[in-house]
Amino acid sequence: MIDCHIHIERGPYTLEWLEQFIATAVSRDIEEIYLLEHSHRFHEFKPMYQNVRAYNSYQREWLEHKSRECRSIEDYMAFISQARKLSYPIKIKFGLEVCYFEEAEALIREIIGQYPFDFVTGSVHWVDGFGFDHKKELWDNVDLHHTYLRYYKIMQNLIKSGLFTGLAHPDSIKCFGHQAPFDLSDIYDNIADLLMEYQMYAEQSGGLHLNYSRECELGMNAKMKRIFLEKGVHILTASDAHRPEDVGANIADLARLLENSSL
Ligand SMILES: [Zn+2]
Ligand SMILES: [Zn+2]
């Protein structure tokens, strides 16, 4: 089993911290893990969050809080280089989860082009500045039709940018239970075609279920899953763990859901 989305952010860049993630992976029969950091964790990415900061005071404060703990990618790379010198009982990849903004492609390209990451997963966390996955109240007065359309348009552009190895949590817009007021089949179809064209994997993510609410659907919605599988999209299971004890969380169930729908 594989867990392709694990945040190491809540601890220091030390081998002791890394070992805690490996220990949980081994105990849960996970053979390969992808460790990553959010782009908002680094000074280098700060300029691309301008619209997010301007969107409302809640988001500005959230970013200010995050930027107090900001690190440099150089420190992260130094840790990765140190970790790569050792051998482990499982396979480990090191990378980033980058918030995608259409207007920031050049900046993202410039930054990630400088470092030898094993993978870079792209995420839509912000829809024209709106942090849709933060608080349910922020959805008051939001135009659902427009937000869904833009969410997937941004995702299509994310893939077409050619910057990323994988696509994180491809239907995370459902985080607070809002459903699209129109049929998404054609959009899912196009996203599947683009993922194939750009040779990217998509995540079968348990992040909402793990980090938001047990009420949240585990993995991608049934329609998306069927379309992605029919088109042959490479799908990897992802916990979206933010602490060592969550490595591999729900991975067996996420894999089973994929197998059941491909029967
Ligand atoms: Zn994410
Ligand atoms: Zn994540």
Q: What whole-number distance in Å separates Cα of residue 255 and Cα of residue 234?
A: 13
Q: How far is the CA of 97 from the centre of ligand 1 (A)?
A: 7
Instruction: Compute the mean pLDDT over every residue in the chain, rounded to the nearest whole number.
Output: 96
* Confidence category of residue 262, pLDDT binned at 50, 70, 90: low
- 142 CA to centre of own chain: 23
Q: Are 195 and 226 in contact (CB under 8 A)?
A: no
Do 160 and 167 touch, CB atoms closer than 8 A? no
Query: What single letter denotes the amino acid at residue 226?
Result: R
Tens-digit pLDDT profile for residues 60-96: 999 999 988 889 999 999 999 999 999 999 999 999 9
Cα Rg of the chain (Å, integer): 18
Span from the CA of 240 to the centroid of ligand 2 (angstroms):
5
Q: What angle do CA 18, 21, 24 make, to 5 degrees?
A: 150
> Relative to the alpha carbon of 100, which ligand is closest?
1
Structure tokens at 143: 């135009």
Q: What is the pLDDT of residue 215?
A: 87
**What is the pLDDT, as a whole number, of residue 52?**
97
Q: How far does the centroid of ligand 1 lie from the alpha carbon of residue 24, in Å?
A: 21
Amino acid 6: pLDDT? 98
Ligand 2 centroid – CA 177 distance (Å): 19
Question: How many C-alpha atoms does 80 have within 13 Å on its Cβ side?
Answer: 21
In tens, the pLDDT along 134-179 reads: 999 999 999 999 999 999 999 999 999 999 999 999 999 999 999 9
What are the structural domains, with CATH classification, of the chain? 2-262 (3.20.20.140)
Give the dihedral sign, CA 201/249/2/41: positive
Residue 32 CA to ligand 2 centre (angstroms): 17
- Cβ–Cβ contacts within 10 Å for residue 262, how many? 11
pLDDT given for residue 9 in this prediction: 92
Six token digits for residue 232: 């042959």
Q: Tell me the residues surrounding ligand 2 (ion) with CB < 5 Å.
A: 97, 240
> Distance from the CA of 232 to the center of ligand 1, in angstroms?
23
> What mean pLDDT do residues 196-207 have?
98
Q: What is the pTM of this model?
A: 0.96
Confidence of residue 263 (pLDDT cuts 50, 70, 90): low
